[in-house]
Chain A
């Protein structure tokens, strides 16, 4: 009897320990096994091109049998950040991951490899490396360029008798909006705008950038170093919040991105939305014809001037802590993706990116919105993206205070005051 007990006990203990030990083994960003096959762990955030990117990775594996690529995708801004932080904390570090700009560079400093000697870095367009250059090092490679503005429905504009090219100032925008608002029934729209105040990034990142960028010369690094913010163009910022909020489908405080884009805009229930070229695929899925022929984009007017905010939303970073071999393979893969013929083709036609590198055939840019944005950036009629340089969490608070403002819990003066103080507070931390 006694002996039997012992067997059981010993077995349990063994079992437990084997489980514990199995849980303890961890690896960092891929490894090379005996046959000299290098495994690349790529942890990226862009859900929109997940399948296309995986297909490209497969193609690369075919051409390079000694490399295996594992792609994991976790979507969305904040979700990705929490996932990557958790990954790093758990010791399961990917070899290639994404960073957003100066703030992330600061956070992941001891994990970032210098990518200066890659072909892709040499081919990157002027200004696209601003956010990731530090002490002469290039710590990331731009994904693509993106731009945002007021995306409009061509048919509704035409029926209302409005020429979008003439909307280059706030006055012109206001006149056009009022004109459309007065013929809502004839145009069969619910409202002129769909303004998702619920999404803090729409107001806190994008709209604010149009009016704050001039303070920092449109340079994201300037913004990330600035001890304070002045809201010089605060009144013009207010104009744009007011007009979009007033003429939007109500209530704006609970309107979200998917309602704005998938329902209201794609079903032609509103004439204008403040969004960027990333909405194209969504609109295309809902209504291909509308996406291809029926929409255009104009810049958000800042008083009398109007530039297109074009920037690099994200960068590829290579993990310094991973194996030398793995790092080399990662650089090779990124170079191939952005500078080889096959890679370029995929970037333009499958990913539908606006390239951030030279040597691309502009005519092949997939969608009309992106073409339009690229045209602005060629003419140099752009403003930079500085919101990736805002103090951590500041944009979120700004978005929240805009929600307060539109629901009447806060005056505009209070909003400006609070956010200036908040910037200084977070910056001095």
Chain B
């Protein structure tokens, strides 16, 4: 370990200090607070596991968890399908592929809150107008029921994130060697077979990355949720992050919210690490 001299540690100090101060310390604090009855002011009293016990009988929290899981599964599938399709479109030999890349990536540059309000306008006003004009009932009353709220969130998230995921797929698609494709063509494989047996295995690492990103992102969504539905109707489109913020700030139950956050953190971590582990096992080396 010749290079671990004093200078090495000195250069590492800023990063370590930042990491410890803004991640590690709050995390440890958070764990501690989740065993107390802290309300955000005053001194916390230690109450042991009570917060955790309450959690598992808290119907509201479990409902939001279930909603979040359903949302995440749907969002992951939709975002990855759209992202990969877009990537295939812009890496094929069409003329305007550069402009298209920019266009597809654009929604990602708009903040979640603003997006929520934009889509709220589209779902309520624009859809309503279309419904009035065409007489198709399906366009009316968006965001006023749980189902439309759910799909509204999915549409919004996909629109926002698909472009970003597209970029990842593009990077891997461009790394697929031309000569392999060429050889397959000569052997008489049609375009679907070429995709299935050559492109797909070679972009497997992209799936690992994209699945991880979409999974952790859709689990933790808050701002889009807040500005699009704010949990309406009757808190049925409330996701875990929002539920946690609510118990912390509307009900002044900081410690209880912290316990929820700990559970949430553990679950998200376990799910994403498992996913990465299994994906990694399936990747092929050239």
Which positions in A face B, CB cutoff 8 Å?
5-6, 8-10, 12-13, 15-16, 20, 78, 81-82, 85, 88-89, 107-108, 110-111, 197-198, 250-254, 259, 392-393, 396, 400-401, 403-404, 407, 409
Contact = CB atoms under 8 A, between A and B. Distances in A.
Binding site of B, secondary structure by majority: helix, strand, loop or mixed? Answer: loop
A6 B7 contact: yes
A81 B250 contact: yes
A9 B11 contact: yes
A12 B40 CA distance: 35
Contact of A107 (B10, B41, B142, B232): B41
B201 interface: no
Nearest first, the 4 closest Cβ-Cβ pairs linking A and B are A9-B10, A82-B249, A251-B144, A254-B144
Given A108-B41, A393-B251, A401 B234 contact: yes
Contacts of A81: 249-250, 252
Given A85-B40, A254-B124, A404-B233, 14 more contacts: A5-B10, A6-B7, A12-B10, A13-B13, A20-B17, A82-B249, A88-B41, A110-B41, A198-B230, A250-B141, A251-B145, A392-B250, A403-B232, A403-B234
Contacts of A393: 250-251
A150 B144 CA distance: 24
A387 to B, nearest CB: 14
Contact of A85 (B9, B140, B252): B252
Contact of B40 (A5, A78, A89): A89
A254 B143 contact: yes
Given A9-B11, A88-B41, A407-B145, A254 B233 contact: yes
B232 A251 contact: no
A104 to B, nearest CB: 9
Interface residues of B, number: 34
A403 B41 contact: no
Interface in B229-266: 230-235, 245-246, 248-252, 254
A259 B246 CA distance: 24
Contacts of B233: 197-198, 253-254, 403-404, 407
Q: Which of B13, B144, B234, B249 has the most CB of A within 10 A?
A: B234
Nearest to A77: B250
A89 B124 CA distance: 39
Interface string B132-163: 00000000111111000000000000000000
B14 interface: yes
Contacts of B235: 400
A409 B234 contact: yes
B234 A392 contact: no
Contacts of B230: 198
B39 interface: yes
Given A85-B40, A107-B41, A407-B234, A12 B144 contact: no
A407 B144 contact: yes
Interface in B262-281: none
Contacts of A404: 233-234
Interface string B39-77: 111100000000000000000000000000000000000
A88 B40 contact: yes
B103 interface: no
Contacts of A198: 230, 232-233
Contacts of B145: 251, 253, 407
B14 A6 contact: no
A12 B41 contact: no
Nearest to A394: B251
B228 to A, nearest CB: 10
B6 interface: yes
A12 B14 contact: yes
B21 interface: yes
